Amino acid sequence: MTRPIPATTAQIGSGEDRLVDVHSPEVPAGIRDRVLQQMQPGDHLWCCPRRGPRRGLLGLGERTVMIEWWLLDAQGELINAFWEEA
């Protein structure tokens, strides 16, 4: 079973969801390829940092942060969500 790759500090940024250009170097190549297969004119891609559950004994360990990539249509409806897996 594969797990999502933890986000880097640069990817997390302010921790807020934000609009990104699909051709930006911060978008992983695998994500970009899948988004471009589905993207239509007017659609847009969002970078959405999310905190994972606590790890370790009794759930007291650190939380990981993953980046979800959301492809939205021109009306803001979710088309698909993506994440990079190890």
Cα–Cα distance, 31 to 85 (Å, whole number): 10
**H helices of the chain, where?**
9-12, 29-38
Cα–Cα distance, 8 to 48 (Å, whole number): 13
In this prediction the pTM is 0.73
**pLDDT, position 64:** 73
Residue 49 inside a domain? The answer is yes
Residue 76 inside a domain? The answer is yes
Domain that holds residue 29: 9-82
Split into its structural domains, the chain has a count of: 1
Residue 1 inside a domain? The answer is no
Residue 61 inside a domain? The answer is yes
At residue 22, what is the residue type?
V
Residue 2 inside a domain? The answer is no
Residue 18 inside a domain? The answer is yes
pLDDT below 70 — which residues of the chain?
1-13, 52-56, 59, 61, 85-86
Burial label for 9, CB within 10 Å (0-12, 13-18, 19+), is exposed
pLDDT in tens, 58-81: 767 677 778 899 999 999 999 999
